[in-house]
Amino acid sequence: MKKILFIVGSLRKESFNRQLAQEAEKYLAGNADVAYLDYTDVPFINQDIEYPAPAAVAQLRETVSQTDGIWIFTPEYNFSYPGHLKNLLDWLSRPVVAYDFATPTVINGKKVALSGAGGQMATGKCREKLVELLTFIKADVMTEPQTGVILNTEAWTEGCMILTDEQRAALKAQAEAFVKFLQ
Ligand SMILES: Cc1cc2nc3c(=O)[nH]c(=O)nc-3n(C[C@H](O)[C@H](O)[C@H](O)COP(=O)(O)O)c2cc1C
């Protein structure tokens, strides 16, 4: 069974993007093993502490190297990705051994799917920029399909995201496409 690592780009406890990930998890059941990345202890990247890698970064790289694919569920912050998500990808983009630019990084060739729940752009601007970033760091992005959810008023007032049938179908189709993409 393929292993998929879910990265939720929100640190908020009741995150809508975490709720979206939990919904996607249902559509992968029986076809892939899902794990959620806990990256709360990954420090801000700083070349003074880059080598040897801090324990949380070494663990992060180990987790990523052991997975077949990564599925990112993220909010959009100011038409882009959240800073902590960028920080994570910055760490993954660096060589494991100092100055060894010949050996592939752990993100190199890693298959990635993208989804997000947010405002009127349905996180489209964020995902567009993530494709650019992930391509630059040599990940293998599944550019289509992606799932973008525009949060409705109830989500904000109730704190709970209720997806439409159409949005559920889009997520299910993306889950199926990603499992194929991982073959
Ligand atoms: C710093 C900041 C910038 C934001 N900028 C955007 C934005 O550009 N587009 C958008 O749709 N929502 C924006 N938002 C709103 C969040 O994306 C929205 O609250 C999202 O649903 C939060 O997702 P979560 O529930 O998973 O944390 C911004 C929120 C913050 C904190």
Contact between residue 161 and residue 149 where contact means Cβ atoms under 8 Å apart: yes
Give the total number of structural domains in the chain.
1
> What 3-state DSSP class applies to 124?
helix
CA distance 92 to 86: 10
| Average pLDDT of the chain to the nearest whole number | 97
> What 3-state DSSP class applies to 7?
strand
User: pLDDT class for 156, splitting at 50, 70, 90?
Assistant: confident
- What's the pLDDT tens digit per position in 103-118? 999 999 999 999 999 9
- The pocket around ligand 1, CB under 6 angstroms, is made up of 10, 12, 15-17, 75-79, 117-119, 121, 151
* The pLDDT of residue 168: 97
Query: Residue of the nearest CA to atom 29 in ligand 1?
Result: 77
User: pLDDT class for 22, splitting at 50, 70, 90?
Assistant: very high
Which structural domain range is residue 38 located in? 2-181
Atom of ligand 1 nearest to the CA of 18: 26
CATH number at residue 114: 3.40.50.360
Helix or strand (DSSP H, E) at 69 = strand 69-73
CA of 97 to the centre of ligand 1 (A): 36
Atom of ligand 1 nearest to the CA of 78: 8
pTM flag (> 0.95): yes
